[in-house]
Amino acid sequence: MKIFAAFFTAFLLSTSGAFAKAIILDYAVEGVPHEGFLAIPDKPKENMPAVLIIHDWMGPSDYYQKKAQEMAALGYVAIAADIYGKGIRPKSPKEAGEQAGKYKNQVKLFRTKIIAALDLLKKQKGVDSKKIIVFGYCFGGTGALELARTGADLAGVVSFHGGLKTVTRSENMQIRTPILILHGAIDPNVPPQEVTDFLTDLDKSKQDYQFISYSGAVHAFTNPAAGNDPSKGAAYDAKADARSWVHFLAFLREKAPAN
């Protein structure tokens, strides 16, 4: 697998001092072009913690660029990954479903794309490879857990309302990184048995994990674009969104503190 940064365009951002710059990264995964986004703290130094962000089924968007900038403001080198490939940006739920389904049905390819972005992050100047957190939303949360199943050596992995099921349950026993799962208690896309099976496997392997379930929350509870009707199975929940971010930041401080 050949992974390289082909070129990048840097531009200075706001003068708030929150972060120094953001960089659009063009890189290739096995010869296929991809476009990621890098945000750097305003005072770069050696041995900085870092985060890799994996997008939801709608693909890379401004939301994930802003999320990377937010993480840089907290002192983390951040890359928002591109799983689909440069120029592949779903314009409808139907297109998103087709793209996400491709990777859920080809787990090896899914993992390859994430590992490519992770390797790119590790190559950034000043990044401490022992202080990397990988997190994602929905499709991206599923991806973060698939990366963990490869036995990746990370500071931690976080899933925001991601799926927990995988092709081969025995691979759950290969997880070696601490895990934080932020879950909608009544998410119809992740049935109770899926939760039970995953946690049973983690318990058997004596894995370091936290599973936090938010009452009344369904799928996509952090996404305002999901609407406000839980009966549809996906809806924004402001309380769950706020609580999950607090829990996420606590996990960061424990596993890969910026100071």
Residues 149-188: tens digit of each pLDDT: 999 999 999 999 999 999 999 999 999 999 999 999 999 9
**CA 99 to CA 53: how far, in whole Å?**
18
Residues 64 and 75: beta-carbon distance below 8 Å: no
| Domain count across the chain | 1
Residues with Cβ within 8 Å of 186's Cβ and at least 6 positions away in sequence, in order, are 215, 216, 217, 218, 230
Between residues 3 and 148, which one has the greater pLDDT? 148
- Beta strand ranges found along 100-168 (DSSP E): 127-137, 156-160
Does pLDDT of 6 surpass 90?
A: no
CATH code, domain with 139: 3.40.50.1820
- pTM for the structure as a whole: 0.92
Structural domain range at position 109: 3-255
Is the dihedral angle over the CA atoms 212, 218, 219, 220 positive or is it negative? negative
Residues with Cβ within 8 Å of 78's Cβ and at least 6 positions away in sequence, in order, are 38, 39, 50, 51, 52, 53, 67, 68, 69, 71, 72
pLDDT-derived band of residue 2, with 50, 70 and 90 as boundaries?
very low
Does pLDDT of 8 surpass 70?
A: no
Cβ-based neighbour number of residue 46 at 10 Å? 8
DSSP H helix total and E strand total for the chain: 6, 9
